[in-house]
Amino acid sequence: MTSNSKAIAGLRIAVGALFLIFAEYKIFGSQFTSGGGFQYWINRFLENGAYPFMAPILRNFVLPHAKTIAFLVAYGELAIGLALAFGILVRPASVCGLIYMLTLLFASNYPGPHAAFWQYFGASLDHLVLAFCFATFMLSNPEEVLSINAYLRRWRARAAGAAV
């Protein structure tokens, strides 16, 4: 168990906890999923800066299916949070998390057509940092320590050693 493994595990668990917090208010409160909260955010994204290619998708697909997508978002965040916190299926959850962060980035972080190149990154820090975390989890061995998988591997190794 290296210090890098511990650091990745700590980051994985912290991001998982954030996603569990995000999911909690959406699932256990009805405002986001059934009370128009999701639609409020989509409309706010449209008013305040969705990337031009994303605006028609938000208007013509997301808003007409808002209630269904709101539940997918809420339970998707729960699934990502549980996977990261417990260290189960971290890579598939990270692929989904990366797609989710890029979707949010393009739906809400457009700095405008005449912005300097660096402003595209500055405007997207809130989603870009989490996207980089998910990319790190996809490219590393995030289940190596502090995970159910690591626990089960150690348990199997002890059981196999005792059987010999």
pTM over 0.85: yes
Look over the chain and give the mean of its residue pLDDT values, rounded to a whole number.
92
pLDDT, average across residues 79-94: 96
pLDDT, average across residues 130-156: 88
pLDDT of 151 higher than 90 = no
Structure tokens at 153: 């591997």
Q: Given the structure tokens 């996809």, which residue do they identify?
A: 138
Q: How confident is the model at residue 123 (pLDDT cuts 50, 70, 90)?
A: confident
pLDDT of 41 higher than 70 = yes
What whole-number distance in Å separates Cα of residue 110 and Cα of residue 106?
Answer: 7
